[in-house]
Amino acid sequence: MFRFEHVSQQPLEDLNFTIEKKDQVILFGPSGAGKSTLLFLLNRLNDPEKGTIYFKDAPISEHPVTELRKKVGLVLQAPNLFPGTVLDNLKYGPSLFDEWQEEDGRRLLDYVQLPSSYLERNVDQLSGGEKQRVSLARTLANSPDVLLLDEPTSALDYRTAEEIEEVLEGLIQEHELTMVMVTHNLNQARRLGTRGLFVADGKLQEDGTIPEMLENPETERLREFLEQ
Amino acid sequence: MAPEISNQSLLFLVIFVIVPLALSYFYQLGVSKSVLWSTFRGTVQLFAIGYILTFLFELPASYGIPFMLSVMIIIATFHARQRGKELPYVGYVLFAGLVAIEAGVLGLWLIFDMIQFKPSEVIPMSGMVIGNSMTAMGLALERMKSEFKENNGRLLAALSLGAEPKQASHLIVQKTLHASLIPNVDRLKTIGLVQLPGMMTGLILGGVSPVMAIKYQLVISLSIFSSVSLSSMFITLAMYRYFFNREKQLLQSEEEIRSSRS
């Protein structure tokens, strides 16, 4: 799906790895290690300073950028909903490509386990957890092949975070999505991820399966991180 | 007969300066210097412009008017540019906008015989339109910058969903225009009720009948209203694109914006 060849973008240097279709990647590491930067590169909200990223075997810059962003959905840490109703938010993406159908609203809310009565609700009236669900549904509305998640539960309380995790778990399995998720929460990593990428000190330090990485870290740097 | 203020009477204006100076002194506001400087500068500027206007009003309209309008537009361009220096081409865009607006407004005034093509009529009236447009453009630039900063997350969300920069910044353009129009709508609503507009006051003091003064005031108020609206719309629609690069990525810092088109 994605291939990184000698990619550098502050603070990350010389990244080389691939993300295969249906991979459920957890991107983790200390704050400021460049995890969000990496997600921005995948959605092309930024371009790398050096190196090339390939998406489906062609350099990412050769894909029409709006089409690429539609296929590679990004959920940001804060929901960043647009003013208006839940429906306005859900149809935003598909309307850009003339793909919105009336019945999509209910289906999308169903994915994130919200009742369809929420469609007409103003986003100002939603709780933090509900907002994040709508934000997730808004990204799913574009039917992306890849779902990028930038700490989607970090601003939520434990219980709400767990509910969102459940939603995500169901969605990934059902839609066979490729997922790249940044998280600080190792339990969440265990639950949602199959593969781990550990970045620290400007480098990709370790790349492996999640259980293996968390139980038997290979590098000293990851061991240090897990002990903290 | 037009009223006249003698130079001796004018000297007593010092009292009006002593008040803020005293306040600054007693409350240690530290603004005495700037009070004195701005008073001095304002006085000199006004007297200078008084003599210049006397000179210009005596010039033939055919070159007195274009000369003074060019000077006003150039100064207004430089002044408004301060608010958006980091944006590429902002000076050219401001200049073009001010020229177009002034030409349009002046054209309408002359076609419909509202004023005569005389320096004493065109220059003060145009000055008000250019000045207000300059302020409106500067405010719109500033507002747009802060809206872009404030709505960073929403803009990223919109782009990440596949929006073109134009679609992503729709909300910002809307908010900027709204913010620039509201004070004008309010001003027009209360015109004459809260305070008599400056031009009308001037005409009445100069001995013109209040109804005649109101006619002039209407011409200028509505001209300003429409030129201010057009100015903000023009500058906002012309400049929002420079907050993005060619790859449809949002530029996050002033440096990025500055270097994006070079």
Chain A touched by B113 (CB under 8 Å): no
Q: Which helix (H) or strand (E) holds B122?
A: helix B119-150
pLDDT under 70: residue ranges of chain A = none
Contacts of B107 (CB under 8 A, 6+ apart): none
Average of per-residue pLDDT values in chain B? 90
Q: Which class for B147: exposed (0-12), middle (13-18), buried (19 or more C-beta within 10 A)?
A: buried
- Token pair 């781990």 in the structure block, residue: A196
Domains in chain B: boundaries: 13-58, 61-259
Residues of chain A whose beta carbon is less than 8 angstroms from a beta carbon of chain B are 43-47, 61, 65-67, 69-70, 73-74, 76, 78, 80-83, 92-93, 96-97, 135, 138-139, 142
Chain A touched by B173 (CB under 8 Å): no
How far is the CA of A6 from the CAs of A74, A148, A221, B71, B224, in angstroms? 23, 21, 21, 55, 58
pLDDT of residue A118: 95
Digit-coded pLDDT (tens) for A105-138: 999 998 888 999 999 999 999 999 899 999 999 9
Q: Give yes or no for a contact between A172 and A24, defined as CB atoms under 8 angstroms apart.
A: yes
Confidence of residue B261 (pLDDT cuts 50, 70, 90): low
Contacts of B176 (CB under 8 A, 6+ apart): B140, B143, B144, B147, B232, B236
Kindly report the nearest CA distance between residue A93 and chain B, in angstroms. 5
pLDDT of residue B3: 65
Q: Which residue has the higher pLDDT, B102 or B255?
A: B102
Interface with B, mutate which of A66, A95, A131 (most B CBs under 10 A): A66
DSSP string, B70-107: HHHHHHHHHHHHGGGTTSTTHHHHHHHHHHHHHHHHHH
Kindly report the nearest CA distance between residue A97 and chain B, in angstroms. 8
Q: Between B162, B248, B249, which is nearest A97 by CB?
A: B162
pLDDT of residue B262: 55
Question: Which of A130, A8, A167, A150 minimizes the C-alpha distance to A72?
Answer: A150
Chain A touched by B167 (CB under 8 Å): yes
Q: Do B158 and A43 touch (CB under 8 A)?
A: no
Q: Give yes or no for a contact between A35 and A198, defined as CB atoms under 8 angstroms apart.
A: no
Size of interface A-B (CB pairs under 8 A): 63
Q: Is the ipTM of this complex over 0.90?
A: yes
Q: Do A76 and B153 touch (CB under 8 A)?
A: yes
Reduce the secondary structure of chain A to three states and give it as a string.
CEEEEEEEECCEEEEEEEECCCCEEEEECCCCCCHHHHHHHHCCCCCCCEEEEEECCEEHHHCCHHHHHHHEEEECCCCCCCCCEHHHHHHHHHHHCCCCCCCHHHHHHHHCCCCHHHHHCEHHHCCHHHHHHHHHHHHHCCCCCEEEEECCCCCCCHHHHHHHHHHHHHHHHHHCCEEEEECCCHHHHHHHCCEEEEEECCEEEEEEEHHHHHHCCCCHHHHHHHHC
Confidence of residue B2 (pLDDT cuts 50, 70, 90): low
Q: Do A65 and B248 touch (CB under 8 A)?
A: yes
A chain contacts of residue B247, beta-carbon cutoff 8 Å: 44, 47, 61, 65
Kindly report the nearest CA distance between residue B157 and chain A, in angstroms. 7
Digit-coded pLDDT (tens) for B129-180: 999 999 999 999 999 999 999 999 999 999 999 999 999 999 899 999 888 8
pLDDT of residue B159: 96
Nearest CA in chain A to B246: A65
Average of per-residue pLDDT values in chain A? 92
B chain contacts of residue A80, beta-carbon cutoff 8 Å: 153-154, 156-157
Nearest CA in chain B to A140: B161
Q: Bridge-partner residues for A52, per DSSP?
A: A5
Q: Give yes or no for a contact between A190 and A210, defined as CB atoms under 8 angstroms apart.
A: yes
